[in-house]
Structure formats: structure tokens, C-alpha cells
Chain A
Amino acid sequence: MSNSLSKLEKRTAYTLVLPAVLLVFAIVLFPIFANVWISFKDIELKDIRIPEPRAKKIVKSISENQSELKIIYKLRNSSLIQDIRNVQFQDKFPKDISPINLDPRCNFQSKKVMCNFGNWQAKYRENFEIVVKNNNGEIIDKKIIKSQKPILTGKSDNPLLTTNFTLENFKKVFYENNFVELLLTTFYFTFFGTVGAIIFGILAAQLVNQNIQGRTYMRGILLFPYVGPVVALAYTWTLLLDPNSGTLNALLVNFNIIEQPINLLGQKYITMSILGFEFKLRLALTTVIFFEIWRYFPLAFLFILARLQAIPQSLYEAAEVDGASPIQKFIHITLPQITAIISILFMIRFIWNFNKFEDIFLLTGGASGTRTLPINVYQQGFAISDIGMGSAVSIVIVMLLLSFMVIYFRLIGKRANEV
């Protein structure tokens, strides 16, 4: 009895879970494996369409004789690079209508014209004609003829499924593509974006956690950058920072803080001198990092605030009695309580910043030294149309990500479970 019940339970569970699992598998897991396959192939954007035989049907009347019609099929191979083998053609006609002088490649059987066109090369085109007549001698309705669509089939190779593999893509990724700089840029962006977001998150949480008026409003406002659509926010910032008539530069020039407008998003380096030391700052990258911090500190804020609100007030009261200063309270009570959540946040934000695409793409498009790995996937795959290369870069990303995760679960995984 209990055995059959557990069987029933299992069967129910699988019915409930399976649709979701299959969908996620098809759209999320399958592509990750497909990337491996594509990354070993020499394949470009234009190769991915499977070639199809196509026909456009045009019906023309033959002068005087209305019981006869000429039908022209504009045949073509949709692909410019690939052949189609064994093209078969089929079109159906109403009763009493039959073709005259049919092409030798075709035959007419039970109201159907069937043709075997053999192999079509890439770019193949042909105007194929059939003349039909009505056996009753009546007028043929053009619309009926026109409404019947011909069926074409043919065999062609799907370039994605062939078994020619190459290591070329990975070679190009590592040797030809300034890989070290790409990696460094990605790490700068990821690391400083993450750390900045967490620092501002702590500051904001500390603020809102105090007894101030309107703190619920403040919490809402602080989350605006995180919930707003990235497209709108990125373009607003681009306008704000624009060197020609952007508000920020105009304000700074107006108040004589700078002499010349600075192209914050379009200039790779800026030379700064501090205490006599000159050094070059990656300007556009820094600006993009600030945008990143602006957009994602709210998340850190939300988490740290939730943690802060869970700290028992009695701890602070006891410290007060002991005569602790505000700084001592922060260092000895608050900080230890939030280290666990900070380490989790660091990892999550690190992984997500590492994969950030939209923000950089919309702000700079990857120009001026802001090209990170995800941007490179897009540039290789779609700007240069080299799908294989794009996939190879994706694989590099996945490998790095997996190693981060392993490190994360080794180092902080145990601690995370205690939270």
C-alpha cells in the first residue's frame, strides 16, 4: 500500500517537474553544450541558414484563349553558398485542368504535377513554365490556381551539423586578439564594480537603518537605478556625460571647475598627477565602472539593510552602557554581523559583473578600452559575423565562471549555509 503510494507520489512529482525542467534544459543547458560544438567549427553568420528551394508562382492569361493559362514559377536556391540536392517539386490543380506540353522533368498524375529538378547549385535561378488548359473548354479561375502553393523539398547539409572541426577559433582567441588586455579589462571592470557597489551598499544601508524621517521613501528611491530599464538609464547617462552639450560637462565648465569638456565615455586614458606622480587612468573604463556601481549598489544595499535590521538592538544598548563610541559599535558589532552576507554578495556580484554585457554595450559599445569578454562575444559573433569565434569566447567565459564557482564553494560555501 505505502509502496504504491510512493510510486504515485513519484509519478506525480515527475509530471509536475518535467515541463519546467525540459524547457530550462532546452533553452539554458542545451546552448551551453552547443557552444562547445560551435566553438570548434569554422562557421560564419551567413552559413547558419539552411538552404531552401523556393518558388514564386505567377499566373498569366494567354491572349484570346481563356480556357488556357500560363503559370510561371520563379525557382531559386535561397542560399548563396550552398547547393541543394535532389529538389522535388509538386503542385496541385483543380479537377478537369491538365497541363499541355509538360517539361520532360515532370509528370502529371492524379491532378498533381510532380517534377524532379535534380541538384541546384548555390545562387541557382530558373523560370519554369507550365501551360494548363481546361478540358471542358470553360474559363479557368485564376485565383483558384494562384491560391494553390507549390511544395518544394530538397536535401542540403546543415553546416552546423557537419563534422569538420578546427582549433583555429581558440588559437585566435588566445593569440590574435590581445587576450591579456581583454582579460585585464574584464577583471578591472568586475572587481572595482563589485567592490564599489558593496561599499556604497554598506553606506546606504547604514544610513537608512537609522531613525530618520521618511526612511521607507528613501529605501524606495535608492532602488530606482536597479529597477529602471537599462536602455533608458544608459542613454540618460550618455546624454549627461556627452562632451558637446552634456549637462555634466556644461556645469563643470560653467562653474570653472574644468576648462575643457572631458569626453568621459570616449577617451581611453587621462593623465593625472597626484603629489608629483603622473599616472594614466583608464577614463572610459572608470566611467563605465561608476555607472555599474550606480546601477547595482541598490542590490547590495537591500541585502545589507535586511541583515542590519535583524541585528538585535540589545547588542547596541549593551555597548552603549559599556561606553562604546559609534565607530567602535560599527567595527565590533555591525561589521562582524554583515561579513557573511558581504562575502555572498561579493561572489554573486562578481559573477554577474563578469558577464555584464548591456551596460557597456549601450554606453560605449566596447570602444575606448572598455572591451570586456562578453562584449567580445558580441563583436566576434555579430559585428565580425564569426559565430565560431564568438562561441569560443563564450566557452572561455564559462570555464572562468566554473572556476570562480568552485573557488566560491570551497572558500565560502560552508559559511554561506550558516547564514
Chain B
Amino acid sequence: MKFKPLAIFLIISSFFLTCILSIWKIMSTLQGLNFTSLNITAVFLIGLLLSLAFVLIGNKINHLIKIFLLSFIFSILYFNLNETSPHWYIFGVFLLTLFYTNKLKKYSMQSLKEDFISEKIIFDFITLFGIVFFAFVILFPFYIMLVTSFKTQIALLVNPLDFSLDFTKSLTELFKSYFVIFETYNFGRYILISAAVSIGTVIVTLLFAIPAAYAVARLNFFGKNFLSTSILIIYMFPAIVLVIPLYTLFSQLGLRNSIFGLLIVYTATTLPVAIYMLQGYFKSIPKEIEDAGIIDGQNWFGIILKIIIPLSLPAIASVALYVFMIAWNEFLFSLMFLDSPKSFTLSRAIQYLSGDAETPRQYLMAGSVIVTVPVLLIFIYFEKYLVSGLTAGSVKE
């Protein structure tokens, strides 16, 4: 009987259990439950007992019965240890414990004798812990953004920890922030402008990038190598050094506060990435297919339109989505070029809203939800295309 692996197993597993139960407690606190202590030591100790019982029982009883039984006992102990809490909270503890004990399935006194078991335990639990950690750290701000938009400033000042939604209120009350920002702050218009600029940028970028990428991928001309290296270098150059000259130039040309001016800048800054991504894909198309087109008497326009574009639709889709995302999220140029609320994009409008200290935070968050949701939906729906776009266009933001 090795003592060390057992000790490591007990400590790490109950540490993990303590972590997930603490997160559950924090999330419940944000629903208005009045907890004032995480009770880490106590939870850790009964966690130790749970893990010990788990390995001691081993395979003597059916796994399913075992985890139900252990989780039930654990929940009762937990309930007695803690401040008064509603049943749904304890039920959550029970489910989490069930999930946790199920993860312990492969551990028994027998398996603790394997080679390198200590390291394997550490790796397994770091993995579990990592998943919980990353998921929590990433999703928590998004969660706060969403729930804040349904609260009121006063309610949050009274109790900044109560994010529970009052479903007894009417829907118009619940979505009040959204109604306000559409009616008072004109967000409908900003959505249209943002959509127009982003979609416009995608179209214009593709119009310029597809022919250029085709030439770089297929044709021989003087300065081709220079061009492809300078593409790489140009998109390392940051927007912040372009801002002052473009601002002065656009002021003198009267292009500030115009959607057209914004569109030109977005197109020019995304073009290098777009060309880079597309030419890589065009090179992978077999040349024989084009030769057939040349024999049929097609000129370059026909070849691009009838052969290249249909064959590279996935690549074009990922470039389009990537460019759309950049244009939709862009903030620096819209901050510099737009001062009139008539021509604000969504990002600029939210920043403008925040400039007024009086603006209640739920309006700010409602605006943030509105600007975030389309991008996340597009991302989730087209993840496959976007991920390949991100990987290829990585060098650019």
C-alpha cells in the first residue's frame, strides 16, 4: 500500500471539489443569497472524507449506487455545516458532487498502485481544474454584462451582489434598458450604420482582394516577390501611427464623419490580410483546371469569375467573416473620425454614452450586449470558417 499517491489523490481531489463548490456558492450569492463565508476549510475536510470513502468502498457496490449514496451523504453534511440556504442551492451541491464523484470513477485502491500515478492524478485534476477555471474566467464577464442590462442602477447600488431577475415584472419592465437605448439613444440607427460599414467593407475588400490575390498566386510580373513580402510587413504596422495623418487628411478632404471615409480606411487596413489569406488558397487550386478555361477562350475575368471563385468559396467565406468581424469590432478609427452622433457606429455610440457619467450602467451594458451578440452568434454559427480565418490572418488583430 503506497501512502503518497493516496495522500496526493485525497488532497487534490478535495481541493478541486472545494473549487467547484466555491464557484457555485459565488454564483448563488449573485442570485441574492446571503452567504458571508466560503467555508473553505470545512468543505475541504468533508471533501477529504468523501474521496477517502470513495476509494475505500472501491468496487464493492455498483458505481451508480455508490455515487448517489456518497453525494447524498455529502450534501447532508454540507447542509448542516453551512448557513441556512434554500433547497435549490443544496440540490445544486448534490448535482455537482454527483458530477465530481463520477469523474473519480477510475480511481480505486487498486489503481493508486500504478506507475507514475501521482503525476497522472495531478495531470487529470489540473485538466479538470483548468476547464472549470477557463470556463469561469471567460464566461463570468459575459454573464455580468448580460444580467446587468436587466437590472436598474438603484437596485445595484443597494445590493451590488443581487443579479437575480425578477420574472414577476412585465417584459417591458425587464427589457426597459433595451427600449430606452433604442428610443432615447437611437441605437437602431447605429446598428444600421455598423452593419452598413461592416458589410460594405467586406464587399469592397473582396472586390479588391480577389483579383490581386489571383495575380499574386498565379501570374508572373515584376515586383511580385517584393509585393508579397511587403504585404506581410504592412500588416504589422499599427493603426495608431496612421491616425494623425489620416485625421488631418480626412479633415481637409471633408471625409470625417462620413461612413464612406470609414469604409475606405477599413478596406485598406484589411486588404493585406485578405490578399494574404486568399492567395494561399488560390495556390492550392490545381492549375490544370484553369488551363481548361484558357483553352475555352476565357480571359482572366472569366477565369476568376467562373473557375476561381466557385472553387474557393470556403476560403472567401472565411475571409469575409474575418473582415466583417474586424470592421464590426473596430474602435480606434471610429473614435477619431466620428464626432457627430449622426454617423456613429455602435462601438463609438457606446463609448459616447459612457462619456456621460450620469448614464446608468444598465444602458451601457444593454448597448454592449447589442454590439456583442451579433459577433458571437456569427462566431458560434460559422466557427469552422472563422477559426481557419483567424489562424491564417493571425498576424493582424
Contacts and interface: CB of A to CB of B under 8 A. Distances in A.
- Chain B CB count within 10 A is highest, among A27, A32, A236, A254, for A236
A53 interface: no
Given A31-B246, A351-B236, A374-B238, A232 B397 contact: no
A405 B233 contact: yes
Given A221-B138, A251-B161, A351-B236, A235 B220 contact: no
B240 A229 contact: no
B350 A232 contact: yes
Contacts of B397: 352
Nearest to B331: A358
B152 interface: no
B305 interface: no
A49 B251 contact: yes
A210 interface: yes
Contact of A27 (B268, B325, B375): B268
B269 to A, nearest CB: 7
Nearest to A27: B268
Contacts of B372: 228-229, 232-233
A142 to B, nearest CB: 30
B247 to A, nearest CB: 8
B265 interface: yes
Given A251-B26, A254-B161, A207 B251 contact: no
A256 B268 contact: no
A13 B119 contact: no
Interface string A1-26: 00000100110111111011101101
Contacts of A6: 220
B309 to A, nearest CB: 14
B193 interface: no
A192 to B, nearest CB: 17
B157 interface: yes
A255 interface: yes
Nearest to A355: B238
A37 to B, nearest CB: 8
Interface residues of A, number: 94
- Chain A CB count within 10 A is highest, among B35, B36, B135, B329, for B329
A348 B394 contact: yes
Interface string A246-274: 11001100111000000000000000000
A210 B168 CA distance: 44
B376 A13 contact: no
B222 A10 contact: yes
A226 B372 CA distance: 11
A220 B379 contact: yes
A57 to B, nearest CB: 21
Given A254-B29, A377-B244, A236 B141 contact: yes
Given A20-B209, A27-B264, A236 B220 contact: no
A229 B379 contact: no
Contacts of A294: 137-138
A207 B124 CA distance: 10
Contacts of B134: 204, 207, 218, 221-222
B276 to A, nearest CB: 11
Given A16-B219, A38-B245, A247 B144 contact: yes
Interface of B: 26, 29-30, 35-38, 115-116, 119-120, 123, 127, 130-131, 134-135, 137-139, 141-142, 144-145, 148, 156-157, 160-161, 208-209, 211-212, 214-216, 219-222, 224, 227, 233-234, 236-249, 251-252, 264-265, 267-269, 271-272, 275, 300, 325, 328-329, 331-332, 336, 346-347, 350-351, 354, 361, 364-365, 367-369, 371-372, 375-376, 379-380, 383, 386-387, 390-391, 394-395, 397
28 contacts: A12-B215, A13-B219, A16-B215, A16-B300, A17-B227, A20-B209, A23-B267, A31-B249, A32-B245, A204-B134, A218-B134, A221-B138, A228-B142, A228-B375, A233-B368, A239-B148, A245-B157, A247-B160, A250-B161, A251-B26, A254-B29, A294-B137, A303-B391, A357-B240, A374-B240, A377-B241, A378-B243, A394-B240
